[in-house]
DNA sequence: CGGACAACCTGGTTGC
DNA sequence: TGCAACCAGGTTGTCC
């Protein structure tokens, strides 16, 4: 489900409501939802702790600060949701994976039908990178992305640019929806070998990536099916999608029928006229 | 190292 | 209607 804009929207909707709240009890309904430490340690160390006003996001990882100096880290993967509500539970209880009972009465729910999502408790004084190895391999945030970095990272990569954009070690936070949208806006065909893109094209691509992600954050993310923020509100960026999920519909720029192909196991949507495959 | 692909899970949609 | 096949916003591990 969530890419950078959705994770960021969850962070913003959660931060002010969670700050200062004390965890009274933690109930883990599916052990595999806890990546680290062991479930019994997780449920023992968190009660009594207070959420601080500090939250952060790195790529698609959401980081919730604790006053102890520790962190609760969350990756929503495909279908995860973090919701802060007063009881009763506003969701299908069969997909509830973790429940944090807060002292003031509300509850923080980790709800995840597909069960790919993961939570970590990072002890005070322990580095996030130590507990979450993927964090240290993460590429730059899109807002910090510079053309020289991208050019260097792609120099030996012959994979399609679309597949490269989904590689979180290259660039953190982009997923299938926004990769398709950014390539469309940059006029780049998704099959273009990554190392064939020259600097002007890369500059345009970077600019469009930043634009798409910023616009999507402003719109509160994209809700295709499941995604909602921590208050249950849907995003609105789906109204602005130009290619993703629009197979067979007309391109708003030129009227050509939007095409779809399978790349790296995922669907890619593009306009065959606006996004021209480079000639050898 | 780069690249292709299966695996992890569950539910919704499509097609016969 | 029933049921199999395929699809889904992500990441990781394995194999060549």
Strand nucleotide closest to residue A95 (CA to C1'): B10
pLDDT tens for chain A, 280 residues long, are: 699 999 999 999 999 999 999 999 999 999 999 999 999 999 999 999 999 999 999 999 999 999 999 999 999 999 999 999 999 988 899 999 999 999 999 999 999 999 999 999 999 999 999 899 999 999 999 999 999 999 999 999 999 999 999 999 999 999 999 999 999 999 999 999 999 999 999 999 999 999 999 999 999 999 998 899 999 999 999 999 999 999 999 999 999 999 999 998 899 999 999 998 876 5
pTM of the prediction? 0.97
Report the C-alpha gap between A151 and A123 in whole angstroms: 37
Active-site residue, from A17, A47, A266, A272: A266
Query: Residue A112, CB, less than 7 Å from strand C?
Result: no
User: A71 CA to B14 C1', in Å?
Assistant: 43
Residues 120-159 of A with CB under 7 A from strand C: 133-134
Phi/psi for A200 (5° steps) reads -60, -40
A158 C-beta less than 7 Å away from strand B: yes
Task: Tell me if residue A151 is catalytic.
Answer: no
Buried b (16+ CB within 10 A) or exposed e, A242-264: bbbbbeeeebeeeeeebbbeebe
Dihedral sign, Cα of residue A186, residue A189, residue A191, residue A192: negative
A28 touches strand C (CB under 7 A): no
Classify burial at A239, counting beta carbons within 10 Å of its beta carbon; exposed 0-12, middle 13-18, buried 19 or more: exposed
- Asked if A25 is an active-site residue, the reply is no
Closest nt to A7 (CA→C1')? C9
**Residue A250 Cβ under 7 A from any strand B atom:** no
């Amino acid at each position: 489900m969530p890419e950078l804009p959705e994770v960021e929207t969850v962070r913003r909707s959660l931060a002010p409501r969670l700050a200062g709240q004390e965890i009274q009890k933690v109930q883990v309904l599916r052990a595999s939802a806890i990546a680290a430490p062991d479930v019994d340690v997780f449920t023992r160390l968190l009660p009594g702790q207070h959420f601080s006003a500090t939250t952060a996001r790195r790529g698609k990882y959401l980081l919730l600060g604790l006053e102890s100096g520790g962190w609760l880290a969350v990756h929503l993967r495909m279908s995860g949701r973090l919701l802060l509500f007063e009881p009763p539970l506003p969701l299908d209880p069969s997909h509830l994976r973790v429940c944090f009972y807060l002292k003031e009465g509300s509850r923080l729910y980790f709800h995840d039908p597909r069960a790919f999502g993961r939570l970590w408790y990072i002890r005070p004084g322990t580095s996030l990178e130590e507990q979450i190895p993927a964090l240290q391999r993460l590429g730059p945030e899109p807002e910090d992305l510079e053309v020289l970095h991208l050019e260097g990272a792609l120099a030996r990569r012959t994979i399609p640019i679309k597949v490269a954009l989904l590689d979180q070690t290259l660039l953190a936070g982009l997923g299938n929806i926004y990769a398709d949208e950014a390539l469309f806006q940059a006029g780049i065909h998704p099959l273009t070998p990554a190392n064939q893109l020259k600097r002007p094209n890369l500059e345009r691509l970077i600019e469009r990536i930043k634009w798409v992600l910023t616009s999507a954050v402003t719109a509160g993310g994209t809700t295709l099916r499941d995604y909602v923020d921590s208050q249950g509100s849907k995003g609105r960026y789906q109204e602005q999608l130009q290619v993703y999920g629009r197979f067979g519909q007309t391109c708003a720029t030129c009227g050509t029928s939007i095409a779809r192909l399978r790349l790296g196991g995922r669907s890619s949507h593009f306009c065959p006229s606006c996004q021209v495959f480079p000639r050898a």
